Amino acid sequence: MRSLLICLMALALDAQENPQTAKKPKAPENSKSPAPAAESTGVATKSLAPAAESPSPGAEKWLTGSIDVGYRWVTAVGGSFDTYRSVVNLGEGPKLLNTDLTLLNPSRRFFDRINIRGSNWGGDPYNTAHINALKEHVYDLTFDYRNIAYFNFLPSFANPLIARGILMNQQSFDTHRRLADFQLDLLPASRVIPYLAYTHDSGFGAGITDFVNGASNEYAVADQLRDKRIIIAGAFASNSIASTLPSSRVAPHSRTTSTYSPAAAIPATGLLRS
């Protein structure tokens, strides 16, 4: 019995491994023979003909991004307009709310890509701009700009002249500050990267400050504020993983100027003028 089972299992395995050895049933004698290959050549040619080439892919877009524009109305500001400017200070008119653009150069002659970003242009108290131009393995140029308008005319002490319409304050500001940063990196993919940096920081405007005379006498005095700082520097930065030394600056140049001068205030409105 065991020998019979072994024989049956061997036959089954042999049939699975060699299925092609099974005999095919004979076709009936009166069945038609398949059409000659020559007659079906036309059909086969149609089925095997190469598919038509797909149209060439569209050219890469050279400009992508978004621009948000709008218009702001400021109507019927009740109460003190100086307080509105001190707390809100949003201007009226057309606005460039936000922009984010990418410019690609198909020829890659002078640059590969330029990125442009900006926000809050058109009279808002804080504006920004950013530009980055890149040519791979040649240069990387970055420019940042910020413009800050600061207004503060909130009374900070008891004003005995308020009944007469004279607005006074110990500390008031109607100033602007502009900051610009420029940096050019050469050969950004190399181990040693020379770069040139330029920074401009300036402020101007009017304000009210304390004039102290003696131990107990303080007077609110209007003045003009103006300052400027410029820094120009060249440096070498290391792009090597093994280097742990910071980049060293060479030939830095800095200039700072500050000017403070008396100015007159308009008592009726609190606005400042030189």
The answer to whether residue 120 scores a pLDDT higher than 50 is yes
Least confident of 59-73, 84-98, 208-222: 208-222
- Is residue 227 very low, low, confident or very high in pLDDT (cuts 50, 70, 90)? very high
Average pLDDT score over the chain: 74
| CB-count burial class (<10 Å; 0-12, 13-18, 19+) for 144 | middle
pLDDT in tens, 73-115: 988 888 888 889 999 999 899 999 999 999 999 888 899 999 9
The answer to whether residue 247 scores a pLDDT higher than 50 is no
pTM above 0.85, yes or no: no
As a 3-state breakdown, the chain gives helix, strand, coil percent values, each rounded to 5, of 15, 50, 40
- With a pLDDT cut of 90, the percent of the chain lying above it is 35
Q: Amino acid identity, residue 225?
A: L
Cα distance between the two ends of the chain: 122
Residue spans of the domains in the chain: they are 63-273
- Is residue 259 very low, low, confident or very high in pLDDT (cuts 50, 70, 90)? low
The answer to whether residue 12 scores a pLDDT higher than 80 is no
Measured CA to CA, the distance from residue 149 to residue 88 in angstroms comes to 12
Residue with tokens 């009374």: 155
Q: Amino acid identity, residue 102?
A: T
Measured CA to CA, the distance from residue 176 to residue 228 in angstroms comes to 12
User: What is the pLDDT at residue 65?
Assistant: 96
pLDDT in tens, 27-43: 555 545 444 444 444 44
Chain centroid to Cα 140, Å, comes to: 15
| Whole-number Cα distances in Å, 259 to 142, 148, 152, 205 | 31, 19, 20, 11
Is residue 262 within 8 A of residue 224, CB to CB? The reply is yes
Residue with tokens 């109507």: 75
The answer to whether residue 232 scores a pLDDT higher than 70 is yes
